[in-house]
Structure 1
């Protein structure tokens, strides 16, 4: 399957969910959302279709992501990791994609410092839309990445702390999503809390 097709499968799964996604019991780990379960099933179904070229493409993009991440260009890092894992899914690319996406959001909000954007908003607005977006991203990046990490002993040896940090961040971000879901109209997302969930950058 071409990389573009694999990305479509994963993105289609991401668009299908809701903020309150049902949990699926995993045979080799904690319960996961239906969204993450579908993504993992697609990854497994495509396992035999990936080529050495797919793997090399993923590795090149991951290196690009790491380079951008270390420069604190989190938007570029996110795009590189996001383009890497459809070619050859790895726990590393999924977890770093999730982390970089929300660091990019925090970075953007802090840089604009209350200045209005063309739509007139002065902050990242809390509410159902944000809560759903964050919850979906937790499913499609953090949950999938953690499930892949659980199956990959080489990853756990190479990055002994990464999965634990991602798990802690995901739990904290889920609480942010729950808070945003019940926020009064026109409330702003608690950016300091979002930043605190992510903690120190995963790569130095």
Structure 2
């Protein structure tokens, strides 16, 4: 997830220099930004799947996965009989997260596959709506953690992934509204690594 976000930043060009021969799409800022967004969404999906797996493993059994006497205890948060489920629909939060991150991943991959298609604006808007809609949900889940007086490290990582998707998709959407999106498609890296002068 962190690597994905770093790809979306100017420092991403330095990070990908060793692999541009294998993935030439990373030679442009736009290619790195779309790849970074896909990585963030994929990370969120993996984390949400893991939280759902933990939920299924610990509910209804005496099994403990990551219980702790410290403030960090994902068992107490994910397996809580009330707060471990979404209000009204009654589904585990991990399952809902899986669905949301799967939709985000699909939209991010569509933007990456066809960055100049007219549908990219709709996909970026979808990314902003879904991830932006997750902000009140994150606030609710944090309030649950405060009430339980425990923190779930996996949940926190999923929340962070959601925020990074929102920030990145907003930056990309703004770029599509100007010439910046086209300018970002230009290669700013060389396929050949820079050689160090032996005389130095």
**Short-chain TM bin:** 0.3 to 0.5
Q: TM-score, normalised by structure 1?
A: 0.33
